[in-house]
A = this chain, B = another copy of it.
């Protein structure tokens, strides 16, 4: 390794490690509910709880982060983290499902665990399964992984066979479409719950990868959020919608799958089609940062936040480009990691209170001072910092 490259990797390793400590410190100080278990996620800049609603996505995700760090990172093998993860997992087992035996989980719960909102989508169940599986691995208790497996089976059934239980109305004019998020999330879950290539979830992983590739359209130049069930581009806003952060996140899920399969061509496609091109098209040439939404024909998106800069696409891009660099050793990929990490550390980081701001205006000014809310919790920032730390450690062990 060239000395310059080593110096860059070492500098980021130090910054990322300290930042991960600060992020976990923030959530450990402010988000635990000692009374009911589970986590508050509506936290202001300084960590003050501004609402006690508990979002199921964010419960499952925080359980995952704590259990994964406990299990794999020696400095986080702390009883307090495992206990909080367990209290979160027990809260989910007790309260997430809408009723005993119901296949559907709530989207939001009251502080004491009664359902307050339900979505007609798969994601509450997915994030419950993600957290519970990792908790099962960290504690060695099979009941958590059994519940995770049951949730995965329900989700796979809804996506692949029959969505009736989701409760979506069947409307005569609705355009049948497949959202990128579904195979993407299922692939992530299959990796989490499976046990490496060739395991019992191998067939599901292959299916997800094939569905993801259907979203790479226009001769590989554009990742589209929604395609037809036949894998074709759809008309209108639905068909032209792009989300650079989603494409890039799907890219590293796909790259890991390709690595497990030993599929070099797929790995190259994941890097070029899902990471590099969406990044180049999605990076704001004027102010820096990734747009939240784009239109594949360059029209104005209808999402009001389209030109805002959100924390999670930047966290995902850090993971994606460092992973891609570790895979290919292409220096341009390391430069992209450095570009996005520098932007993120300059703009999203809050050195005063820890964790990152989530929502910047187009020009990079903080638009919302909250550290957590209905969609931001203890997940993207610590997951990205942890995965990048792992990748950097591995790279730096090489001669």
Binding site for B on A (CB under 8 A): 42, 44-45, 50-53, 106, 109-110, 112-118, 169, 171-175, 236-237, 299-302, 304-308, 359, 361-362, 367-370, 373-374
Contacts and interface: CB of A to CB of B under 8 A. Distances in A.
B300 A370 contact: yes
A361 B307 CA distance: 10
A363 to B, nearest CB: 8
Nearest to A365: B362
A299 B307 CA distance: 23
22 contacts: A45-B300, A50-B236, A50-B237, A50-B299, A52-B236, A110-B173, A113-B173, A114-B172, A115-B173, A115-B174, A116-B171, A116-B175, A117-B174, A118-B169, A301-B368, A302-B374, A304-B367, A305-B305, A306-B367, A307-B367, A361-B362, A362-B367
Contacts of A106: 171
B236 A373 contact: no
A50 B373 CA distance: 33
A300 B44 contact: yes
A42 B302 contact: yes
Contacts of A53: 236-237
Contacts of A304: 304-305, 308, 359, 367-368
A43 B299 CA distance: 11
B300 A171 contact: no
A171 B236 contact: no
Nearest to A307: B367
A302 B41 CA distance: 12
Given A115-B172, A172-B115, A370 B302 contact: yes
Given A300-B368, A300-B370, A304-B305, A114 B171 contact: yes
Given A51-B237, A109-B173, A110-B173, A302 B373 contact: yes
Contacts of A50: 236-237, 299
B44 A114 contact: no
Contacts of A51: 236-237
A173 B114 contact: yes
Contacts of A117: 171, 174
A142 B386 CA distance: 68
Interface centre among A116, A173, A174, A236 (most CB of B within 10 A): A173
Given A53-B236, A299-B44, A305-B305, A171 B115 contact: yes
Contacts of A361: 361-362
Nearest to A370: B300
A357 B305 CA distance: 15
